[in-house]
């Protein structure tokens, strides 16, 4: 059975669960491109299309006072984030239905697109001032997160990944596990979560991990994101220059977080060559391994 077919069956099950919980009927159109687990296009009874997403082990109340609240704040100032049309607790998981924004996922970043992404990131700054109720982002430099940022895979995979883990944990011992601030932090701000049409960014999607903190962390995430897809050399140079101006107490913990996150994920989900690919980038700023 194809991956797309598995996705289709999962989406149908989720729409059935939504109907049982809320009475809303949604028809599955097909999986979202890219093979992302837990996302599909659906059609509402009035005919308009939307994006259905689902995930396990989450509480609707946490989503509403965190990521969904952050999106509402940003949308109120004109930020191109998708509105949430429905959110339902289904057992121990959550199903959400989001506005379908125009555009397609960015697969190549040129200098103009980078400038647009940097401008969007500036809108994150101070957006959550007065919202201490929204949880800060954790970096997990000395502990594991739920399903990502796991340390044991790095310790076991190779001497090189073990050295990276020692560096990450050393940074975690020297700096707080949270970046202070009142900015909106997307936490997965990279080209695959951006839509564009005719050279203009039309949306930033996938806000489920959003939190409060320092929005410059999103630019470190962006640096890892452009390493994973086609990007102009000028984009890499300019983004590195932006990061070079970050204070050490921000850059080192943020870089350690992304290094752990990407290398761990590659070890558990991709090939040894992919692990090397992310290690090559991680080690550019992970000194004294």
3-class SS string, the chain: CCHHHHHHHHHHHHHHHHHHHHCCCCEEEEECCCCCCCEEEEECCCCCEEEEEEECCCCHHHHHHCHHHHHHHHHCCCCCCCCEEEEEEECCEEEEEEECCCCEECCEECHHHHHHHHHHHHHHCCCCCCCCCCCECECCCCCCCCCCCCCHHHHHHCHHHHHHHHHHHHHHHHCCCECCCCEEECCCCCHHHEEEECCEEEEECCCCCCEEECCHHHHHHHHHHHHCCEECHHHHHHHHHHHHCCCHHHHHHHHHHHHHHHHHHHHHHCCHHHHHHHHHHHCCCCCCC
Residue 288's pLDDT is what? 54
**pTM exceeding 0.85:** yes
Look at the domain 104-282 and name its fold.
Answer: Aminoglycoside 3'-phosphotransferase; Chain: A, domain 2 (3.90.1200)
State pLDDT tens for residues 158-213: 999 999 999 999 999 999 999 999 999 999 999 999 999 999 999 999 999 999 99
- pLDDT digit string (tens) for the chain, length 289 residues: 333 443 455 889 999 999 999 999 999 999 887 544 578 999 999 999 999 998 888 899 999 999 999 999 999 999 999 999 999 998 888 999 999 999 999 999 999 999 999 999 999 999 999 899 999 999 999 999 988 999 999 999 999 999 999 999 999 999 999 999 999 999 999 999 999 999 999 999 999 999 999 999 999 999 999 998 878 999 999 999 999 999 999 999 999 999 999 999 999 999 999 999 999 999 999 875 5
CATH of 3-99, one of 3.40.50.2000, 3.30.420.40, 3.30.200.20, 3.40.33.10: 3.30.200.20
Q: What is the pLDDT of residue 146?
A: 84
pLDDT at 37: 58
The full set of domain ranges for the chain reads 3-99, 104-282
């Amino acid at each position: 059975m194809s991956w797309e077919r598995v996705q289709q069956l999962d989406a149908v099950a989720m729409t059935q669960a939504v109907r049982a919980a809320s009475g809303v009927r949604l028809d599955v159109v097909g999986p979202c491109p890219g093979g992302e687990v837990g996302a599909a296009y659906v059609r509402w009874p009035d005919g308009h299309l939307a994006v259905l997403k689902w995930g396990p082990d989450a509480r609707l109340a946490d989503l509403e006072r965190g990521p969904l609240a952050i999106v509402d704040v940003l949308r109120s100032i004109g930020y191109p984030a998708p509105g949430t049309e429905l959110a339902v607790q289904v057992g121990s998981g959550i199903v959400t239905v989001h506005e379908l924004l125009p555009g397609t996922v960015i697969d190549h970043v040129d200098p103009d697109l980078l400038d647009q992404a940097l401008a969007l990131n500036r809108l994150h700054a101070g957006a959550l001032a007065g919202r201490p109720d929204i949880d800060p982002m954790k970096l997990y430099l000395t502990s594991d997160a739920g399903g990502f940022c796991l340390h044991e895979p790095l310790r076991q995979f190779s001497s090189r990944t073990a050295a990276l883990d020692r560096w990450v944990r050393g940074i975690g011992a020297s700096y707080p596990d949270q970046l202070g601030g009142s900015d909106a932090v997307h936490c997965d701000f990279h080209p695959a979560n951006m839509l564009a049409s005719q050279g203009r960014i039309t949306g930033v999607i996938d806000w489920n991990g959003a939190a409060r903190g320092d929005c410059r962390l999103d630019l470190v995430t962006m640096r890892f994101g452009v390493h994973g897809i086609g990007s102009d050399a000028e984009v890499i140079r300019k983004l590195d220059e932006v990061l070079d101006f970050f204070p050490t107490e921000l850059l080192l913990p943020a870089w350690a977080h992304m290094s752990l996150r990407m290398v761990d994920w590659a070890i558990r989900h991709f090939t040894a060559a992919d692990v090397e690919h992310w290690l090559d980038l991680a080690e550019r700023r992970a000194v004294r391994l």
